[in-house]
Amino acid sequence: MAAWLAYLKSRLLLPEPPGDNEPSGLELAEALAHQLQRLEAMQQAGMRLMALPRLGRDVFARGAPEGIPVVRHLSYDATLFDLLKAYGDGRARAASAVLHIELAELYSVDEALQRLTRFLGRMPDWRMMASFLPPELRQGLVQRSAVAATFVASLELVREGRLQLRQDKMFGPIYLRSPPLTEATGSG
């Protein structure tokens, strides 16, 4: 607004340049007066709107409608035999609800390290990692633990430089081999 007023004042004070297509200072002053009248009208409309009574402050809504009260009369038709039978059934369910978890025979990384270390130096060609898994593997959790332990053990041996690891494609089989003697000893 301040910039607009400064521009308007400069247009009113300076003479009109010849052939200028811009509005004159008087036209700009009339446009500003019109805008100020619109602003004042909006402010007055806002004040009238804010002066109206507000719900929850000046005016309150009617309370929640009252419902019809429901009266329930409970009656039980059970004999002493029914009560004793229900008690016995509940005790039987509680006794059979005890959870027994069997110990799972999982393979450790140490076992996998020992298994892979036995083959070190005797695998000059690439062999699939699955060929180093224990032959007596069962399906399920035991097999997954053996695969994970063998993979971690192979990574440890690669870190130590005692094994090489390769995978040709994503989600493809993993291949292992002993490093060539020149790489293992460090001499070239």
The C-alpha angle with vertex 128 and arms to 126 and 133, in degrees rounded to 5, equals: 130
Residue 164 has pLDDT above 80, yes or no: yes
Residue 188 has pLDDT above 70, yes or no: no
Side chain identity, residue 148: A
* 108, 149 contact by CB (below 8 A): yes
| Residue 177, beta-bridge partner list | 164
Report d(CA 13, CA 39) in Å as an integer.
26
What's residue 19's pLDDT?
66
The token pair at 77 is 């038709």
Neighbours of 126 (CB within 10 A): 14
If you search the block for the tokens 């997954």, which residue do you land on?
144
Report d(CA 80, CA 141) in Å as an integer.
50
**Residues 124-145: tens digit of each pLDDT:** 788 888 888 887 776 788 888 8
Please tell me which of 46-50, 91-95, 139-143 the model is most confident about, judged by mean pLDDT: 46-50
Report d(CA 125, CA 80) in Å as an integer.
80
* Domain architecture of the chain: domains with CATH: 109-185 (1.10.10.580)
**Residues 49-80: tens digit of each pLDDT:** 999 988 878 888 877 777 788 888 888 888 88
The token pair at 11 is 């247009």
- For the chain, give the percent of residues with pLDDT over 70: 92
